[in-house]
Structures are given as structure tokens and as C-alpha cells.
């Protein structure tokens, strides 16, 4: 059953009008998607009081079902990665409680966290039928079609109810401090229909540093632009020039990150978009790329980025860079 979540998310629709360059630019980090049952019922507590906040928008049947659902604290605190857990612990998650019901099954977007790049939504599905509704959904940021990459993780709360998180990477051209994220479903739990959820989103605060360093190898070039620290992530933003057929050649690169003490900073997700004035120059394309890593408790004096070939884990020594953190934006 765990592979089904990943399969469903990989089928999320990308608008037909999306330019081919942007399709090439969209990259999804293949994070480990987990779907497991909560193993320690002693530490599980009912979310009745918390979930009933804003209960006027919740159907009576769903409200009744929620009373029997045990979950540990918030969804982010239960099944989120380290960044989401830290942001939730700091009280930065936004309660949404957007929901709809179809027969005996209901779907709720419980909470949201947006760090300026990654938008994460905590959701609950009651009477889960082993088919996530996301693959046939359409997404918008305000009035603009959304096409970022997505990943998820989750847990069964009991035999039939599921709590999970779906995270989207917001393309740089759609990033803003606040927006309305809308999701439209035309199928849920095997039934056709039209259900719409609207989620107001506000970016959590962070500190950004402008970076001008760059490095070049035979096939690649990295031009650093910005490093941003929030309670949820550490984000590196840069222009990546690579062969236009890098994916076909199995030469996609990824990026290890270390702090100034040599500690590994774990990657959480990544995404990129095309650059209209530098597409297909001498057989190469430049992608406006952002990579998100776990949050750091303290801002270091510098970071070290170490690019490597994803398929072989081979380092590209010429691209290794020490990124100084001096000029705050």
C-alpha cells in the first residue's frame, strides 16, 4: 500500500499550457513516503477540541467521526519531517479546517505551513479507500495555475482513517508573501463531482542572505543567488546550467550541504523552473533552482555545497563551493 501513495502523487496533473521549458524545470525530490500505523496508542490523544475549531464548516457526520480519531498532537508534529515538526513546535502552523464529505468518507485540510518555498498541508481522510484524491485535482495560487512538484508522507490512525501531509514546491515565479491556494477535485472515493477547497496562506518569517559566488565544470555551472533560513527549512537558491538532455543521459545532479562545522544538513525537497532568456544555449539550459534542507538552530558563518551525480553519487569537485553568509537581504 505504501507505493500507492507515491504512484498517486506522481500522477498529479500539470496544466497543458505549461511551456515545455518549465516542464523540464520541474523537479521532484524523491523523499521517502511513509504509510504506517501509529504503534503507541498510549501517547495518542483525541484531537476533538482542536479539530472542532472552526467546526461550523464541518459536516455533522464528519464532526462525529472526528470525535473517535486519536492522533498525536498536530499532523505536522506527528508525521512531518524535522522542519515541519520544528515549525509546528514554534506555533507557526496555520489552522485551516477546510473540508468536504462524500457519503461516509470525508477529507479535511487541517493545517498549513509555508516557508516561502515549500507549502505543506496536513490532511485527514476518514473511511480511507486506499486512493488519494490528489491525482485528479487541479491547483491554483490565487488565479494562476500551479505546477510545482509534490511529495507526501502519512500514517493510519486506525483501520480506516488516515492522516498525512502533502508538500508542494512553489516555483520562484509564483512565490509571494501571502496567497490563496485552491484545490479542485472532480473525483473522490470513486465518485465524480466538484469539490473546492480554498486555503489562505501566509509565509513564515525568515532571514535571507544574498550570495554572488559561482562555479563551473565541463558540463555544469552554478551561480548562487540567495540562502534563506526559517524555522521550517534552510533554502539554497541558485541558477543551474546543465545539458538540456541531462535527464536522458542519467546525469541529473543533486547537492549535499554542510554547515561551517562540517555537519551534514539533510535535504528535504527540491524544485526548479526554466529561465526564458537562457534556454538551449549551446545545448544547455539554465534552471532557477531551489533546494530545501532541514532547519538550523543557528546561522553559520558559511555553508558548503557539494554537487554530485545523482545516479552514481560521484562528486563534481569543480562545483564544490563555500558559501559565505555576510550580506543579509
Residue 249 within a domain: yes
Q: Is the pLDDT of residue 140 over 90?
A: yes
Q: Is the pLDDT of residue 43 over 70?
A: no
Please identify, among 180, 202, 224, the residue that sits at the C-terminal boundary of a domain: 202
Span 26-47, mean pLDDT? 34
Output the pLDDT for position 69. 54
CATH, residue 279: 2.60.40.1640
Output the pLDDT for position 201. 94
Q: State the chain's mean pLDDT as an integer.
A: 78
114 shares its domain with 225: no
194 shares its domain with 212: no
The answer to whether residues 110 and 97 touch, using CB atoms and an 8 Å cutoff, is yes
Residue 61 within a domain: yes
Output the pLDDT for position 70. 53
Output the pLDDT for position 159. 82
Provide the 3-class DSSP secondary structure of residue 150.
strand
The CB density around residue 37, as the number of other CB atoms within 10 Å, is 11
Output the pLDDT for position 2. 42
How far CA 49 is from CA of 63, 115, 302, in Å, comes to: 11, 27, 44
In angstroms, the CA 290 to CA 7 distance is: 24
Residue 298 within a domain: yes
Q: Name which residue leads in pLDDT, 74 or 271.
A: 74
CATH, residue 194: 2.60.40.1630
271 shares its domain with 293: yes
150 shares its domain with 193: yes
175 shares its domain with 248: no
In angstroms, the CA 4 to CA 205 distance is: 35
72 shares its domain with 129: yes
Q: Name which residue leads in pLDDT, 187 or 307.
A: 307
Please identify, among 176, 202, 228, the residue that sits at the C-terminal boundary of a domain: 202
Those residues with Cβ within 8 angstroms of residue 285's Cβ, 6 or more apart along the chain or in another chain: 21, 24, 241, 242, 243, 244, 274, 275, 278, 279
Q: Which residue, chain included where needed, has cell 500500500?
A: 1
The answer to whether residues 28 and 150 touch, using CB atoms and an 8 Å cutoff, is yes
Q: Is the pLDDT of residue 142 over 50?
A: yes
28 shares its domain with 9: yes
26 shares its domain with 150: yes
Q: Is the pLDDT of residue 129 over 90?
A: no
180 shares its domain with 264: no
Q: Which residue, chain included where needed, has cell 538551449?
A: 280
188 shares its domain with 253: no
Q: Name which residue leads in pLDDT, 177 or 37.
A: 177
Q: Detail the DSSP E strand segments found in 142-245.
A: 144-145, 150-156, 162-169, 178-188, 191-202, 206-210, 214-216, 221-230, 234-243
148 shares its domain with 224: no
Model confidence at 54, pLDDT cuts 50, 70, 90, reads very low
Residue 329 within a domain: no
The CB density around residue 216, as the number of other CB atoms within 10 Å, is 12
Please identify, among 163, 186, 202, the residue that sits at the C-terminal boundary of a domain: 202
Output the pLDDT for position 184. 93
Residue 74 within a domain: yes
Span 245-265, mean pLDDT? 91
* pTM attached to this predicted model: 0.72
Q: Which domain holds residue 167?
A: 2-202
195 shares its domain with 210: no
Percent of the chain with pLDDT over 70: 73
Output the pLDDT for position 302. 96
For the chain, the domain total comes to: 2
The predicted-structure confidence for 258-282, as pLDDT tens digits, reads as follows 999 999 999 988 766 555 445 667 7
Q: Is the pLDDT of residue 145 over 80?
A: yes
37-41, 62-66, 99-103, 222-226 — which one is most confidently predicted on average? 222-226
Residue 310 within a domain: yes
Amino acid at each position: 500500500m505504501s507505493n500507492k501513495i507515491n504512484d498517486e502523487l506522481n500522477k498529479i496533473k500539470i496544466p497543458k499550457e505549461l511551456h515545455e521549458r518549465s516542464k523540464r524545470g520541474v523537479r521532484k525530490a524523491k523523499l521517502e513516503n511513509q504509510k504506517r500505523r501509529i504503534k503507541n496508542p498510549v501517547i495518542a490523544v483525541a484531537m476533538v477540541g482542536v479539530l472542532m475549531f472552526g467546526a461550523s464548516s464541518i459536516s455533522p457526520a464528519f464532526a462525529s467521526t472526528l470525535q473517535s480519531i486519536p492522533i498525536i498532537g498536530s499532523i505536522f508534529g506527528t508525521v512531518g519531517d524535522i522542519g515541519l515538526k520544528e515549525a509546528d513546535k514554534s506555533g507557526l502552523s496555520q489552522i485551516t479546517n477546510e473540508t468536504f464529505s462524500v457519503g461516509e468518507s470525508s477529507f479535511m485540510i487541517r493545517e498549513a505551513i509555508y516557508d516561502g518555498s515549500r507549502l505543506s498541508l496536513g490532511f485527514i481522510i476518514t473511511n480511507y479507500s486506499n486512493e488519494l484524491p490528489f491525482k485528479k485535482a487541479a491547483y491554483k495560487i490565487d488565479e494562476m495555475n500551479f505546477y510545482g512538484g509534490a511529495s507526501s508522507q502519512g500514517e493510519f490512525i486506525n483501520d480506516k482513517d488516515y492522516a498525512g501531509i502533502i508538500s508542494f514546491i512553489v516555483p520562484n515565479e509564483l512565490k509571494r508573501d501571502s496567497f490563496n491556494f485552491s484545490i479542485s477535485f472532480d473525483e473522490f472515493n470513486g465518485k465524480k463531482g466538484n469539490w473546492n477547497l480554498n486555503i489562505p496562506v501566509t509565509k513564515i518569517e525568515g532571514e535571507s542572505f544574498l550570495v554572488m559566488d559561482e562555479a563551473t565544470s565541463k558540463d555544469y555551472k552554478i551561480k548562487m543567488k540567495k540562502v534563506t533560513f526559517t524555522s521550517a527549512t534552510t533554502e539554497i537558491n541558485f541558477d543551474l546550467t546543465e545539458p538540456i538532455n541531462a535527464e536522458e543521459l542519467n546525469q541529473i545532479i543533486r547537492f549535499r550541504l554542510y554547515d561551517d562545522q562540517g555537519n551534514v544538513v539533510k535535504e528535504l525537497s527540491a524544485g526548479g523552473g526554466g529561465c526564458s532568456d537562457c534556454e538551449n544555449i549551446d545545448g544547455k539550459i539554465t534552471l532557477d533552482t531551489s533546494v530545501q534542507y532541514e532547519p538550523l538552530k543557528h546561522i553559520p558563518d558559511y555553508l558548503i555545497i557539494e554537487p554530485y551525480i545523482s545516479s552514481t553519487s560521484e562528486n563534481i569537485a569543480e562545483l564544490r563551493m563555500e558559501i559565505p553568509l555576510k550580506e543579509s537581504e
